[in-house]
Structure 1
Amino acid sequence: MTDRKDFDPRTFGAVADGSSDDTRAIQSAIDAAAVHSGRVILRGGTFLTGSLFLASGVDFHLDESAVLAATFDQDAYPNTPSRIAGVEMSWPAAILNVIGAENVTVTGGGLIDGRGSHWWDQFWGPDGKSGLLNEYEERGLRWATDYDCRRPRVILVQGSSRVTIQGISIKRSPFWTVHLLYSNDLTVADVRIDENLGPSTDGIDIDSCARVVIERCEISCADDNISIKSGRDANGLRVDRVCEDIDIRHCVFGEGVGLALGSEVSGGVRNVRIHDVEFDGTDYGIRFKSSRARGGFITDVSVERVTLRDVAYPISLQLNWYPLYNTITVPEDHSGEIPESWRVLSEPLPEGVRPTVVRDIAIVDVTSDLDESYDGPSWAFDIDGLPDAPIHRLRLENVSLRARELGRIIGVRDLDLSGVRLEIEHANTVDPNPNDHSLHHQWRARHRTLPRTVRRTSASARAGEVSF
């Protein structure tokens, strides 16, 4: 067997000076490598690029001396059919795309810089007030903001199989960082994601995929560190593609909103194993979320050997999460054409759609502690099932939590508590409003300059005042 042939984008005209557009040269190297199932190697410089498309059999290797930097040119990211936040639509291509391919690897110790602040300003505005979010909230269109503020992802793997992403670092993503969609047999390993200070800068989104391993990753961002999804409402029910057989292990999460199952789960999520992970300063730890009329299911989830430090809500299940985002209503005073994305979002649900079924959840060997200096919100439990569709068979075993307040456990049938130890400082002081999901973000923003650096330390809960 012969060695793989290597291809250098400089041979095809790349300059790697950080200001010249190297998109065409890099893509030419990729296309040449595809003929030979070869390797593209970027080294020794900053390669400015728009969307790149990897073909089957290609190894895209980013040497530790190389930076792949995103151009600000919107036209450099052509619209492609995809799915965003659970809804199929045309969307700007990612910086690095693996679409309809197999046996692809993205490797090396180099950096992909999404240069996200340019894109974040479109959402928030340079002053934090003049962006699309503020305008849409005033018009009663909060639900449409994420879909109408069109920003590229960093890596998209879509309709592909046997893809590995390993060893690279990613920072300042314009939008979602790594999006795995409609794909099977995937591995994301030893990837570091940080400086994602902008809106909707999820770390890794696993979206209607099967047989996925996420391991030894360090993720800090301004939204879900990892999110497991399967489609939203009528559109997700039509596609009807489950997300299943997911293994997340030996990862560390810094700044972010935690590891989420949901909220887009209309196609269902099942057979998920989360183990040997650490949370350091995330808003949430393990989080399940859906909307009342979403349908779908989340079943057979195992969470084991988890350590949390300075996490506001270590265990959260919210089955009517954030109604302002999930309730689709076009204002009566809206004038002009209705965008296609709005039509898809507002498509009526089929008759008889029931709330999301959540059952057979095991949370075992979990420790959550707070530093004495921590002054943010703190609940031991944020469990809010629905009276007419309660969570079934939730087991907590050998769980030790230190928190300011107990929080809530509502809407659970067959709750099994064994070896649960709690240290609670005082009674709840605030009744939660389902639309006030951003309160912890506001507290964190007052304390944040850059995302909290991941610290590999294991917290130990103090002797519990309450045991089960």
Structure 2
Amino acid sequence: MGFFKRTAVCLLAGAAAVAGAYAADYDVRDFGARGDGISLDTKAIQAAVDRCTRGGGRVVLSGGDFLSGTIRLKDNVTLVVERGARLLGSTDVADYPHQRLDFRFYGDTWVYQSLIFAHNAKNIGIEGGGVIDGQGGSPAFAKTTTKKPDRYRDRPYLLWIAGCEDVRVRDVRLQNSAMWMQSYIRCDRLRIENITVFNHSNKNNDMIDIDGCRDVVIRGVIGDTDDDGITFKSTCDRVSENITVSDCILSSHCNALKFGTETTAGFRNVTIANCVIRESACKNTIYGFPEGTAGLALEVVDGGVMENVTISNVVIDGPRVPLFIRLGNRARKHYDGAPEPGVGSMRGVRISNLVARSSSPVSCSVTGVPGAYVEGITLSGCRFVCAGGGSAADAAAPVEEHETMYPESTMFGNLPSWGLYVRHAKNIGLRDVVFELKGGDARPTVVLDDVHGAVLDGLRAEGRAQGVEVAEKDCSGIEEK
């Protein structure tokens, strides 16, 4: 075939591909959507989704404000909110029918509504460069009761993706949910990329919740939330595993990057790299503190496992406590009638090249409970800039076990160290770790309590510290270099 014939064939093939792409686009206006921000467009958007799923394609919202209640995504549908368009959540609770899943999880009898919902769907996506706004600060979603579970009811998620495969969420701005911003539970092959999140409109305003999911990539998220940020949970019967998080900029009034609190099955094979945790741009808090409660919080308290977690090249600038690692025994069931969990396990956590600044006297901590040890925790090449401010009374005060308490980095008070407190732990490694003290402090740098097997290699103290002071109690096998 000559050059011109080959070119003609290629052009015709390209035109056919383009025509096919356009044929698979479904403009919601063609199904009756108004896009005026006043008319309720739920039925029109859902009709477009239902039509699109027959052959697959894109449901497109462009050039307007589309007010909607629950939209259910289905197989092979990508919801596209184009730049310049907004999908607005209805402020009428009646527009969010209750959804039920085919498996049990913690909260399944009182959290069951969402603006965008998918269950057992395959090959679904949300993208487009536009905005999805839950309008979660509306008085319709205000809850004055503190009684559980009533305080959670009738506050829909923005995205609730359950039991799905091959899920993509990318290139959109998500804001103002009435509950968690995004809940992904028991999903396989999930990618969340290049999204912006702002969630400061209501209680429980988490950024991203990954629960019992496998093969997950989270990349390029810029997020600011009142409650926890990127949060790994295990409220169902599956381990959250094979997960990578990278290149994110996170802010939270609570815990910017968190494992827990729910840990029924646990977490395995997780890598986190090249992230920045900074103070929130929003100074008004519902929960937590303006500067944040913790940067990294790794918690196992309801049974379950945590193993093979690596965290590297992370900057933490300003929360009250940069690093909190906790194995506890709250032992909460993931549904009524489930067996009560035993104490979980935590092993094989490696943290390297961490640069962190704290804003309170509470030191970082790694703690288990009597008879259940945290094992194989390694910190290497890390720098902690500590606020100081602890007293001799803090250094001498006993630290309560709080074995069954809700885990939080501030739960033990100021702790007897200004840099790092480690209790009920085995095989700990601290290598080339620098502790810099900014204010006066009467406590030792590091306290080891009931620690068996530890290597302290290349520890340094700077700032107002008079060298590194390591205090030990009921320890064995401590090697200092």
Report the TM-score, using the length of structure 2 for normalisation: 0.75
Taking a change above 3 Å as real, the CA distance of residues 428 and 199 of structure 1, as seen in their structure-2 partners, is: farther
Please list, as runs of the form range in 1=range in 2, the aligned pairs for 1:6-405 lying within 5 A after superposition: 6-82=25-101, 86-89=106-109, 91-118=111-138, 122-123=142-143, 131-133=144-146, 136=147, 144=149, 148-231=152-235, 236=236, 240-256=237-253, 257-281=255-279, 282-291=292-301, 294-320=302-328, 345=335, 347=337, 349-350=339-340, 353-369=341-357, 376-405=359-388
Matched residue, 2:451: none
Give, in angstroms, the shift of residue 164 of structure 1: 0.6
Indicate if the aligned counterparts of 2:159 and 2:181 stay in contact, CA closer than 8 A: yes
Q: Per-residue CA shift, 1:239-270, capped at 9, x if unaligned?
A: x3111001011001023321111111111210
| Structure 2 unaligned spans of 5+ | 1-16, 280-291, 389-417, 444-460, 469-480
Taking a change above 3 Å as real, the CA distance of residues 206 and 120 of structure 1, as seen in their structure-2 partners, is: farther
Q: Per-residue CA shift, 1:416-457, capped at 9, x if unaligned?
A: 00011001334489xxxxxxxxxxxxxxxxxxxxxxxxxxxx
Instruction: Give the root-mean-square deviation of aligned CA atoms.
Output: 2.5
Measured in 2, the distance between the counterparts of 1:112 and 1:84 equals 28
Q: Residue 413 in 1 paired to residue 423 in 2?
A: no
Indicate if the aligned counterparts of 1:153 and 1:179 stay in contact, CA closer than 8 A: yes
Equivalent position SS for 1:30: helix
Q: Which amino acid letter does the alignment assign opposite residue 178 of structure 1? A: Q
Q: Which amino acid letter does the alignment assign opposite residue 186 of structure 1? A: L
Matched residue, 2:453: none
Q: Residue 3 in 1 paired to residue 13 in 2?
A: no
Taking a change above 3 Å as real, the CA distance of residues 278 and 386 of structure 1, as seen in their structure-2 partners, is: same
Give, in angstroms, the shift of residue 121 of structure 1: 5.8
Q: Per-residue CA shift, 1:146-167, capped at 9, x if unaligned?
A: 5x43411001111111111000
Matched residue, 2:286: none
Indicate if the aligned counterparts of 1:60 and 1:107 stay in contact, CA closer than 8 A: yes
Measured in 2, the distance between the counterparts of 1:203 and 1:428 equals 38
Give, in angstroms, the shift of residue 464 of structure 1: 8.8
Q: Per-residue CA shift, 1:135-179, capped at 9, x if unaligned?
A: x3xxxx5xx455x43411001111111111000001111101111
Measured in 1, the distance between the counterparts of 2:216 and 2:176 equals 24
Taking a change above 3 Å as real, the CA distance of residues 249 and 317 of structure 1, as seen in their structure-2 partners, is: same
Measured in 1, the distance between the counterparts of 2:48 and 2:462 equals 57
Report the TM-score, using the length of structure 1 for normalisation: 0.77
Indicate if the aligned counterparts of 1:307 and 1:367 stay in contact, CA closer than 8 A: yes
Q: Per-residue CA shift, 1:213-244, capped at 9, x if unaligned?
A: 0000011111110111112xxxx4xxx31110
Q: Per-residue CA shift, 1:383-406, capped at 9, x if unaligned?
A: 232121110010000110011242
Measured in 2, the distance between the counterparts of 1:85 and 1:367 equals 36
Measured in 2, the distance between the counterparts of 1:63 and 1:38 equals 15
Indicate if the aligned counterparts of 2:183 and 2:208 stay in contact, CA closer than 8 A: yes
Measured in 2, the distance between the counterparts of 1:348 and 1:185 equals 28
| Structure 1 unaligned spans of 5+ | 124-130, 329-343, 371-375, 430-460
Q: Which amino acid letter does the alignment assign opposite residue 157 of structure 1? A: I
Taking a change above 3 Å as real, the CA distance of residues 270 and 426 of structure 1, as seen in their structure-2 partners, is: farther
Measured in 2, the distance between the counterparts of 1:327 and 1:208 equals 17
Indicate if the aligned counterparts of 2:37 and 2:88 stay in contact, CA closer than 8 A: yes
Indicate if the aligned counterparts of 1:181 and 1:209 stay in contact, CA closer than 8 A: yes
Give, in angstroms, the shift of residue 203 of structure 1: 0.5
Determine which structure has greater relative contact order: mean sequence separation of CA pairs < 8 Å that are 6+ residues apart, divided by chain length.
Answer: 1
Measured in 1, the distance between the counterparts of 2:179 and 2:442 equals 35
Measured in 2, the distance between the counterparts of 1:44 and 1:314 equals 43
Measured in 2, the distance between the counterparts of 1:428 and 1:379 equals 13
Taking a change above 3 Å as real, the CA distance of residues 312 and 90 of structure 1, as seen in their structure-2 partners, is: closer
Q: Identify, as 1 or 2, the structure richer in helix.
A: 1
Measured in 2, the distance between the counterparts of 1:428 and 1:213 equals 44
Taking a change above 3 Å as real, the CA distance of residues 56 and 100 of structure 1, as seen in their structure-2 partners, is: same
Indicate if the aligned counterparts of 2:327 and 2:369 stay in contact, CA closer than 8 A: yes
Give, in angstroms, the shift of residue 105 of structure 1: 1.5
Measured in 2, the distance between the counterparts of 1:31 and 1:121 equals 29
Which protein has the larger Cα radius of gyration, Structure 1 or Structure 2? 2
Taking a change above 3 Å as real, the CA distance of residues 100 and 17 of structure 1, as seen in their structure-2 partners, is: same
Taking a change above 3 Å as real, the CA distance of residues 254 and 348 of structure 1, as seen in their structure-2 partners, is: closer
Measured in 2, the distance between the counterparts of 1:21 and 1:197 equals 22
Report how many residues are paired: 387
